[in-house]
Every structure is written in structure tokens, then in C-alpha cells.
Amino acid sequence: MVGLTSVLLAGLSGLRAAQTGVATVSQNIANANTPGYVRTELTLAPRTQIGAGAGVEITGIKRAADRFLATASYIASSAASSASARADLLSRAQQTFGDPSDSSSVFGMVDEYWSALTELGVDPSSSLRRADAVSALQATYSEVHRIGESLQQLIGEADQRIGDAVSEAQNLMNRIADLNNEIRLNKRSGADTSSAENAQSALIDQLSELMDVRATPQQDGGVHIRTGGGALLVGVTAAKLSYAPNPSPYATHGVISLNEEIGSNINIESFLTGGSIKGLLQARDVDLPGLAEALGGYAGALADAMNAVHNENASSPAVSSMTGRQTGLLSTDALNFTGTTTLAITDSGGILRDRLTIDFDAQTITSEAPPNTVSFAGGGTIGDFVDALNTALAAETPSGSATFTDGVLSLNLSGQGGIVIQQDSADPALRAGRGFSHFFGLNDLVSRPTPLFFESGISGADLHGLADDGAIQYQIRDTQGRFIADRTISITGPLAAPGATWNDLLSALNAPGTGLGEYGAFSLNATTGQITFAPNAAFNVQLVNDSTQRGNTGVAFSALHGLDSSATAGRATEVDVNALIANDTSRLAVGRPNLAVNLGVKVIEAGDNRGANALAAARDTMRSFGAAGVLTAQTGTLATYAARLGGEAGRLASDSERQATGAAAVATAAADRRGEKEAVSIDDELMKMTTYQNAYAAAARVIQAATEMLDVLMTIGYR
């Protein structure tokens, strides 16, 4: 009887095992098309009792997961997501530039401008052709503005998408941690954990698209999740990610912090090697700003080239007043000009009435009618020179004036007549490489509310002129993105003293402990007067805020020297045709005056086309361009520079697209290889179903046979 009971129990265990097997197979078949589902497998073992067979035992229901294939899939997926996010933004950035062969692109529009200048040279007296040239240049800069604004919008979009991705990642991490608890509980109670593990695996797959992850199974159930760089995202509980997007143009972006509330002070960005967040960071912080800087560099280079020529030209009739650009300089700054320039006074017909020769080396202004010499020797400042020029102009008939107010030089004649300025061909007047009229922007064709270029010509001994209580704030992080220090240089104490100079400010900026001495070096170029910063390779130094202002110019320290993106890349959205010329195209200087003629002779003719031809020739004139974003320092023509800008935009988009295509192919291959191991095969499952059904039938027959035998034995025993 004992042996018969064992047979019955063995058969019953077979029934249970077969039932569980059928249920497992049914679950697999039902989820064959469920994304991320990993098939489950029933594990059986023989059951013994005192050495004798006692049926079959279910030792577990396990997922057919392969940890190594899963890790490969996570890595490939994160790489594909990173490349895809970056390629999307760069492709759209390239589209904003347009096809260089398309007349509606910025490159086509600037070609239209050059053509309009050539046509203007044929008939410089034509008001229609002057209007066409000005309109073509306005259209060019309008397109530059649109592209510049689009790039800033893409940077803002990338930042917002980073914020959204961080929020999504946090939600996934929380759910993975919750499932860890469920899996541990089920495992302790002996319940099936495969459903919770499948759900968790699908969440990890989603998380791997946002950031590169590595999943490590734990002995008590569940997994620990880390980034490829080792940052723990999910352990006993989920880590806390925090990020505040700032989509404003030229914004200083924060960092993605890990467990900020417990003071860990970890920037997780340096621990990311893949995922869409990584791709968005690359586009936001490197690629798009690089294109924006390059576009700003092109906008500034085109403007500066046009202004250099236009300031040597004159309109017919000559203008009676000139208002210069915002230089960011103060009247107390050293003049720092050398050479000679000529300022001519004409009547309304362009007849030369007087000629003022400004000799910056001798520090004199000499007029001819009547003969007179005014000296600005002694102080050697811009203010001293302007006072002398004002005195010389006041003696003219009609009288004139010169003022230098809040960084802007203005010249005016009170009656009929015009002002014409030209450099001495043998000894041109120069400051930081630009001529007198060009430097002050007295006859600019293109303008900007803030400094257009950053070669200011200041000297270290000049007063820095920054208003009291302003501050320059920098944030320093290491190459891993970890916060190192905040440094604020305030215009207080000795820096606010009346005699504080640029050298004093440089000393404060470079001071270890209070300045940035440990993290890089500020230096003043003695030739150009521009202050630059060379960071230590081990640190990332970022300008956070600059509330300084030079006198009443409204120009901050960083804007004067081009030390932030709003000053450099901002040229793409702020540079435009001078409003005076846009509103009155007769001010377009298309003639080249001859100031060497005798008094009483005409210096400019209405039909003179030499100025228009010189403007058109600027397209193919060789010049040097400084490094700007994705464009390296180079020597070439404006046409070549524009082509390289378009080429760089196309190259970035093309390279990122190829990278995205390659990464997607690798991710697909990894997913397929993983699927071969983990996915459900209907044919295989049907075979298993048949096997379990047959096993169930066999176990039932064993039980039936044992029952019949028991009945016989009972009958025999009863009799």
C-alpha cells in the first residue's frame, strides 16, 4: 500500500508539473508579440524519497534572459539614441542654413548683394540701384538673424529636452526600484518572479535609450543599475536626479545633479557615455554653440569688411553729421592712435572748403582755411583729442562740433556742407589695426548696439572705468563636470578706487584663491587691447554673470572683450544695416573722395563708382579671420569664409547622420541577437505544449492505473 501511495503522489506531481508547463507555454505564446517580453522556461528535477523515485519537482520558472546579450543591447541602444538625438538637431541646424546653391539661402542672398554692388558700380548715381544694394544687404542680415535665432532656439530646445529626459529617467528609475522590492518579496515567498522581472527588463530597456546603463543581478532578487561611468542609479532605492532647464538665448546652463538633496554634489553628466541625454548635451554645449559662434564670426567679419571700405568712401552729397559706433571706451582712455588722417569740410556741392590734417604722432590738427593748428598734446586721452577736434571744427564756417559721449564719437556741422574722412595713404592713422573713421564707426554701413569687434586698443595702464559694485562671476568645474569653486571678482575696494587700471583688474582676475589664478590666465594683447582667457586644461571655467559696466556706455567687461557667447555669437542676431543708411539710401557711400585736391575743387562726383567697386572687391580680398566656433583661424576671402561656414554646417550634419545610421544598425543587430536568445518562437512553444500535454496524459494514466490497482487490492482485501 505504501508503494502504491508513492505511485499516486508521483503521478500527481507529474500532473502539476505538466499543468505548470502548459501555463508557462501559454503565457509565452500570448506574449509572443509583446515588446521586451522574455520567454519563461520551466525547470524540473526528479524527486526522491529515501532513495526511491517520487515523481518530478518544479525547481523554478526562469526567464530565458542572457545578461551579456542584454548588456550589449543596452550599450548599442544608448549609442543609437545618443547619435539620433544629436543628428536630429544638427540636421535641422543645417537646414536653417539652406542649400548654398539656392538663391533664398543666406549664401545665395549674399551673392545677390555682391551682384547688386557690381550693378551699382555701373550707375552709382541711380537711387534705385543704391536701394537695391541696401535692400540686398538687409535681406542677407535678416537671413543671418533668422539662422542665429533658430540656432539659439535649437539650443533652448535641446536644453528643454534634457530636462524632459531627466524627468522621464527619474520616473523609470523609481519604477525599477519598486519592482526590485516586488521581486525580492516574491522570491522570498517562492512565488513566480518572471512577470515582475519582465516588466522591469522593459523599463531598463527604456532607460537605456535615455542614458547608458549596466544592470547587475542581485542575490536576493532585483538588479542594481549604474551608468557606464559607474554612477549608481538604482540600488536599494532609486537615486534622485535634478535639473532645471533654461531655454533662454545665451543662457548659462546648469548641470544634472545626482542626489543633490543629500549634499553629494555629483554632476552625473561626466558619468554618461551614451543615451539621448548625452547626445543632447553634446549638441547643446558643443555643436550648436560652435555653429552659432561661427555664424556670429561671419556676420562680424562681413560687417567689418564693409565698414572698412565704406569709411574710406563718401556719399554725394557728403553727410553733414556722423555718429559713430558704440566703442565701449571712455574719454579717459589713452588715445593710442598713430599715423595721419584727413577730415575735409565741403559745401553742399562737394567743393572742398577746408582740410583738417590730424597728425596723431605730432598730436596736432592743422586746418588750411584759415591756417590754424590745434594741439592735443599733453593728456594723450580720447577726451583731449575730442576737445581739440571740437575746437578745430568750431572755427569752421559753418561751425562744427565733436563730442564723445558714452563711448560714441559724433561729428556735426551746424549749416550746409559735408564731412569727408580719409586715411593718409602713406601713413594711415591706426588704432588696434583699424583706421580712424573705421575704428570709431563714423561712416559705418553695418552697425551693432554693442561692440562689433573686440580689438579695443586699450592699454594696461588705462583706467578700467568699470562702475562700482559690478561683479564678474565664474564657475569652475573639473573635466569630469564636478563642481570646484565659484569665483566672483567685484568692483569694490581697491578696484573701485579712482586710479584703478586694467592691469589692476587683470591682477584681481588672475589672483589665486580669490580670482582664477589656479584655473587659467587672463592676458591683455598689447597690440589689439583685447583681454582673453586661457583656461587650464584640467578645468572648465564658465562665465556665469557679468554685471559690470564701463561708465555709462552700457558695455560690460565681457562684452567689450568678447568673453561670452552673447558678445560673440550674438553678432548673428544683432548686426544689421546702419539705420541711417537704411532710411536714406543717398547716404550709401559709393564714391572714393580725392582729398589731395586744392581748396575750391570738388572732392566727390555723383557718378564716381570707385567706392562701389571697392565694396564689391571686398568679396575677394584676402584677409585674416580669427577662430570662431567650428571655424578655425584662417586666411582667405569673404566668399571662401562663407563657403567654409556652410561646409562645416553640412559636415556636422552629415557626420552625425552617418554616426546615427551606423549606431542604429549596431543596435538592431544587438537586439536581433538578443531576440534569438530571449524571444518567443511559436513553433518551439507549440512543441513544448505538445510535450506537456502528453506528459499530463501520461501522468493521468499513471494515476488511473494506480487507482485501478488500489481498487483491486481493496477488493481482494475486503473479501
- pLDDT tens per residue across span 136-158: 999 999 999 999 999 999 999 99
pLDDT at 719 over 60: no
In the predicted model, what is the mean pLDDT of residues 484-492?
Answer: 94
Options 2.30.110, 3.40.50, 2.20.25, 2.60.40; CATH of 320-442: 2.60.40
Q: Grid cell 477488493 — which residue?
A: 715
H helices of 190-259, in order, are 194-210
pLDDT bin (cut points 50, 70, 90) of residue 3 is low
Confidence class of residue 5 from pLDDT cuts 50, 70 and 90? low
Q: Is 275 left (phi over 0), alpha (psi -120 to 50) or beta?
A: left
Confidence of residue 99 (pLDDT cuts 50, 70, 90): confident
Query: With pLDDT > 90 as the criterion, what percentage of the chain qualifies?
Result: 70
Q: How far apart are CA 565 and CA 584, in angstroms?
A: 33
Of 138, 125, 177, 252, the residue nearest 608 (C-alpha): 125
> Does the pLDDT value for residue 259 go beyond 90?
no
Query: Does residue 29 contact residue 198 with C-beta atoms inside 8 Å?
Result: no
Secondary structure in 3-state letters for 439-465? HHCCCCCEECCCCCCCCCCCCCCCECC
241-248, long-range: CB < 8 A, 24+ apart: 241/166, 241/169, 241/170, 241/173, 241/268, 242/166, 243/162, 243/163, 243/166, 244/163, 245/159, 245/160, 245/162, 245/163, 246/159, 247/155, 247/156, 247/157, 247/159, 247/160, 248/156
Instruction: Name the β-bridge partners of 52.
Output: 49
Distance of CA 94 to the CA centre of its chain: 14
Average confidence (pLDDT) over 529-540:
94
DSSP 156-176: HHHHHHHHHHHHHHHHHHHHH
pLDDT tens digits, residue range 46-66? 777 665 666 777 776 777 677
Q: Cell numbers for 131, please give them.
A: 536701394
> What are the CA-CA distances from residue 542 to residues 109, 158, 251, 292, 565 (Å)?
36, 19, 11, 17, 11
pLDDT confidence tier of residue 334, bands split at 50, 70 and 90: very high
Tens digits of residue pLDDT in 103-141? 888 999 999 999 999 999 999 989 999 999 999 999 999
Of all helices (H) and strands (E), which one includes residue 89? helix 67-97
Q: What DSSP state is assigned to residue 679?
A: S
Residues near 612 by beta carbon (within 8 Å), at least 6 away in sequence: 117, 120, 121, 124, 133, 590, 591
The mean per-residue pLDDT over the stretch 536-564 comes to 95
φ, ψ of residue 613 in degrees (nearest 5): -65, -35
Residues belonging to the chain? 719
| Residue 263 pLDDT | 66
Provide the pLDDT confidence category of residue 642 given band limits of 50, 70 and 90. very high
What pLDDT digit, counting tens, does each position of 501-516 carry? 999 999 999 999 999 9
Residue 497's pLDDT is 94
Confidence at residue 4, expressed as pLDDT on a 0 to 100 scale = 65
Q: In this model, does residue 686 exceed pLDDT 90?
A: no
Q: What number is the average pLDDT over the span 227-231?
A: 89
Which amino acid would we find at residue 7? V
Whether the predicted pLDDT of 166 surpasses 80? yes
- What is the rounded average pLDDT of the residues 588-611? 92
**Is 389's pLDDT higher than 60?**
yes
Mean per-residue pLDDT of the chain: 90
Give the pLDDT of residue 13. Answer: 76
